[in-house]
Amino acid sequence: MACASSLLTEDQFLCSICLDVYTKPVAIPCGHNFCIQCITDYWNTNNVCQCPVCKEQFYTRPTLKVNIFIAEMAAKFKKVQVQEKSAGSPEQQAAKSGSGDVPCDVCTGAKATALKSCLVCLMSFCTTHLEPHQIKKALKKHKLIDPVENPESRLCVEHDKPLELFCMVDEIFLCESCTETNHKSHKTVTLEQEFEARKAQLGISEAETQRKIQERQQKIHEIRHSVKTGKDDADKVMSYSMQVMNTLVHYIKKSQAELTEVIGMKQKEMEAQAEGFIKELEGEMMQLTQENKKLKQVSLNKDCFKFLESVLSLKIFPPQTKDWSDISVESDQCTVQRAVAQLEMTVVREIRMLCDPDLKKMQKHAVDITLDPDTAHPFLTVSDDRKQVKSGDRMRNLPNQPERFDHVSNVLAKEGFSSGKFYYEVQVKDKPQWDLGVASESINRKGDIRLSPKNGYWTVWLRKGNEYTANAGPGVILHLREKPQKVGVFVDYEEGQVSFYDVEARAHMYSFTGCTFTEKLFPFFSPCANDGGKNSAPLIITPVKSSG
């Protein structure tokens, strides 16, 4: 007997309004059926009472009653649908049986689940129908395996025998006859042995994979924690720096007011002291003037007798006066000015070493430079784009032309500058040693070279991975807060300035100032010795990406 779903189609039980199986179906005068609620709502929302399918109009709204027959048929169809969905499609049933739920080939009607498959009978049996294979002597010899959907696939195509063995050499399934022919010299094991070995191997691989997953999960956790910690630290530093800067600004403003008051007071004291000195001097001048009048009157007498008589009778009492030769009024405002200027230099220097706000302006003078292979020492290799240079372990056979360095691993840029300002950046990442800066065109390029301004070199170098020095002759040890990954070099030709910056930290490293340039300057590079691969990373001229 055919199942209900093969006799009834879904379209016969669908309401044309809700497109679902009828719920309380009703028939209207034109003969079309709808769910009672669907057609009622349809008429309630339209001004005209008509059929939604054929559009026939009704002058009076029909009385609706549930069609019991159609309702029962729809209910049965719904029940069949539920059963078929729970059983699944034929493809789903096949997949289900292939996953271990294999039906018994002997059962009629409802199929019981097979317990074993026989490679001789090529059938699968449930618990009941498997009994003959467990009782009858002839059937006990049959090869039973866990239930499979297609037992024929477990037979050797060539010998028609069960595939019970595994070839370790060719990694294929074998029957007993195969081991006596093509695989006679090969190592073979039972399927159970290979199963256990492969399962154990997979278990080890799975455990190792799980360990690696856990390691990566832990690393992700650590990285996220580091990012969060870094953000928290950055927020704290930012808050602290703002607080310190605001406090510093407030203190400077307050100090400026105090200093203004002190300067004013000192000026008043100096003026009062000067006034006192002036009054005292004026008093002494008055006394001296009166004494001078007396002497002048006597000196005007031309009669010798009277002159001598007046001089003899004249009593001269010199006025009490000071020795003013060592007395002066001096202002100490110049001392204050020098101290304030020194304070400004100190504050600016410390702030620039923390984060120089002028770097953005200097980056606007960026120039595009390339390396000059003709100047490179034979140990050095310049990239095809002339933006990278690295040191090797073997000297290349190159002509010893005048512009080439022959003793020290140096190289110059192709471009030189004899005026204005210029700026460029060099990546020094992963290098424990390097030299960077600018050099005069006429520098000595042969033999041993000493880097110093008097020899035409304005450079900074790194040694031993953490020792930074400005080669000012003598060298100046640089105490940097971070290890630069990229160094910026700025030159102001007219001002005689060569400055070095940690680009990522935007921090000032060192400046040569007060220099006198009289010839063309060339960017200077030295990746230093390879050191057995420890210093093999290249120096890279990178594009300048201004942050402003």
- pLDDT, tens only, 263-273: 778 778 888 88
- CA pair distance 490, 510, nearest whole angstrom: 11
CA distances from 259 to 249, 254, 334 (A): 15, 9, 13
- In the structure encoding, which two tokens stand for residue 123, read together? 């059938």
**Closest Cα to residue 429, out of 296, 319, 356, 536?**
536
pLDDT confidence of residue 507 = 84
Residue 522 near residue 413 (C-beta atoms within 8 A): yes
Share of the chain above pLDDT 90, in %: 33
Residue 86 reports pLDDT greater than 60: no
Residue 417 reports pLDDT greater than 90: yes
Average pLDDT for 128-137: 90
Residue 39 near residue 17 (C-beta atoms within 8 A): yes
Average pLDDT for 423-432: 95
Residue 353 near residue 507 (C-beta atoms within 8 A): yes
pLDDT confidence of residue 2 = 42
Residue 509 reports pLDDT greater than 50: yes
The mean predicted confidence, pLDDT, of the chain is: 84
Report helix, strand or coil for 525: strand
- In the structure encoding, which two tokens stand for residue 332, read together? 């100490």
**DSSP-assigned beta bridge partners for residue 525:** 411, 436
Which own/partner pairs from 466-473 qualify as long-range (CB within 8 Å, at least 24 positions apart)?
468/509, 470/500, 470/509, 470/510, 470/512, 471/437, 472/512
Residue 91 reports pLDDT greater than 60: no
Identify the residue with better confidence: 181 or 511: 511
pTM score, two decimals?
Answer: 0.49
**Closest Cα to residue 176, out of 192, 193, 158?**
158
Identify the residue with better confidence: 1 or 378: 378
Residue 281 reports pLDDT greater than 70: yes
- Over the stretch 468-486, which tens digit does the pLDDT of each residue have? 999 998 999 998 888 999 9
- CA pair distance 407, 449, nearest whole angstrom: 8
Residue 205 near residue 191 (C-beta atoms within 8 A): no
- CA pair distance 78, 14, nearest whole angstrom: 11
- Over the stretch 228-253, which tens digit does the pLDDT of each residue have? 888 888 788 778 778 877 877 877 78
Identify the residue with better confidence: 195 or 323: 195
Residue 438 near residue 418 (C-beta atoms within 8 A): no
Cα dihedral 127→132→133→136 (10° resolution): 150
Q: What confidence category does residue 310 fall into, taking pLDDT thresholds of 50, 70 and 90?
A: confident
pLDDT confidence of residue 498 = 97
Residue 14 reports pLDDT greater than 90: no
pLDDT confidence of residue 92 = 47
- Over the stretch 27-71, which tens digit does the pLDDT of each residue have? 888 888 889 898 888 888 877 788 888 888 888 888 888 888 888
**Closest Cα to residue 498, out of 462, 463, 452?**
452
Average pLDDT for 251-258: 74
Measure the N-to-C terminal CA separation of the chain; round to a whole number of Å: 84
Provide the greatest CA pair distance for the chain. Answer: 185
Q: Kindly provide the residue ranges of all beta strands, DSSP E only, lying in 245-334, ordered along the sequence.
A: none
What burial letters (b/e) apply to 357-386, b meaning 16+ CB within 10 Å?
eebeebbeebeebebbbebbbbbbebeeeb
Identify the residue with better confidence: 405 or 78: 405
pLDDT confidence of residue 52 = 85
pLDDT confidence of residue 256 = 72
Q: What confidence category does residue 17 fall into, taking pLDDT thresholds of 50, 70 and 90?
A: confident
Report helix, strand or coil for 123: strand
